[in-house]
Amino acid sequence: MNGFEQVVGHKKVIAHLQNAIRNHTVSHAYLFDGEDGAGKNLVAKVLAATLQCEAGGTEPCGQCRSCLQMDTGNHPDVFWVTHEKSILSVDDIRTQLCDPMSILPYSGPKKIFIVDEAEKMNDQAQNALLKTLEEPPEYGLIILLTNNSETFLQTILSRVVRLPFLPAPHEDVVHFLMEKKKLPDYRAGLVAMLAGDNPGRALALSESEEFQAQKDEVVSLMKGLRNMGAEKRIATTKTLVERKADLPDYLDLMLVWVRDLLYYKAEPKKARLMFAAEKDAIAEESEYYTFETLSRFVAEIEELRAKMKANVNPEASVWTMLCHMAEQTETRYE
């Protein structure tokens, strides 16, 4: 098991935790608050490993018995609270956290409970947890992980140290994808951007074959925009509507394409293209469009995205967008 260096982003959170370890001021309860995929589980795991490590540093040593037990997921004093139903019930919290907390640790200095998806605790479960939070034993540590801290009772929030997990810096996510998935830089950049710089989501996206296929389809759609007659428009509308669930991803990719054209038009030599593998096509396409036209494309795509969120009829909306975009390209030759 490696240390905090494998976490993408969250430098402030890690510095805070390592300071607390150094100064022996580690709290009895933390709330890691941020999107799914941000890295909360990983930070919780490294924190637990560090606190249990026999070497007693600010990183797990990776070699002692405790660290090896963490590696295999068999540490006798680190627990992941799980739930079978869609909520974390009062029984889950009592049997997996409150009751075992009252028993001394088996071998480590601490007894650590990590509650993933803690927002799924109902009020009863939160009240049961509250009792333990009010009088935690010296050795006890509770780490709550959540993507929505608004669901917690104020009494819980006032007894935990809340650490926000913000999106990682874009370059860090790009670097992570290049290292871990061996992606070329342009592709890592595109994936990171589409994932909103969320490392977990970026990882999932980079592994998705569907994503590759979507990308190819969008490139072919955007290249064909100039010569898109009525028949092709009908077929494309049909294709896009059939993939309704993926339509937001398609629209994101379309936006990236249009932005690439804009960047290339502005600075053909220096433009850092997301679709770098399509550089020749982008160079050619950018000749056919004015800045104004491309800006309208952005507006059209954004408008369709807003309509999809508002559940407007997708068929009519996609059709309208394609017609508007195709018209834009025709007027130039009139």
The footprint of Zn ion (CB under 5 A) covers 53, 55, 61, 64, 67
Q: Count Cβ atoms within 10 A of the Cβ of residue 136 and give its class: 0-12 exposed, 13-18 middle, 19 or more buried.
A: middle
Nearer to Zn ion, 50 or 206 (CB): 50
CA 5 – CA 8 distance, rounded (Å):
8
CB 195 within 8 A of CB 208: no
Q: What's the closest the beta carbon of residue 50 comes to Zn ion, in angstroms?
A: 8
CA 177 – CA 329 distance, rounded (Å):
37
Place of tokens 């952005």: 298
Quote helix, strand, coil % in the chain, to nearest 5: 60, 10, 30
91: left (phi over 0), alpha (psi -120 to 50) or beta: alpha
Nearer to Zn ion, 67 or 221 (CB): 67
Q: What's the closest the beta carbon of residue 70 comes to Zn ion, in angstroms?
A: 8
Nearer to Zn ion, 20 or 61 (CB): 61
Q: Count Cβ atoms within 10 A of the Cβ of residue 324 and give its class: 0-12 exposed, 13-18 middle, 19 or more buried.
A: middle
CA 315 – CA 207 distance, rounded (Å):
30
CA 210 – CA 216 distance, rounded (Å):
10
Q: What's the closest the beta carbon of residue 59 comes to Zn ion, in angstroms?
A: 9
CB 29 within 8 A of CB 142: yes
Q: What's the closest the beta carbon of residue 2 comes to Zn ion, in angstroms?
A: 12
Nearer to Zn ion, 73 or 268 (CB): 73
Q: What's the closest the beta carbon of residue 224 comes to Zn ion, in angstroms?
A: 58
Q: What's the closest the beta carbon of residue 64 comes to Zn ion, in angstroms?
A: 3
Q: What's the closest the beta carbon of residue 295 comes to Zn ion, in angstroms?
A: 56
Nearer to Zn ion, 67 or 88 (CB): 67
Nearer to Zn ion, 50 or 237 (CB): 50
SS3 33: strand
SS3 85: coil
Nearer to Zn ion, 26 or 64 (CB): 64
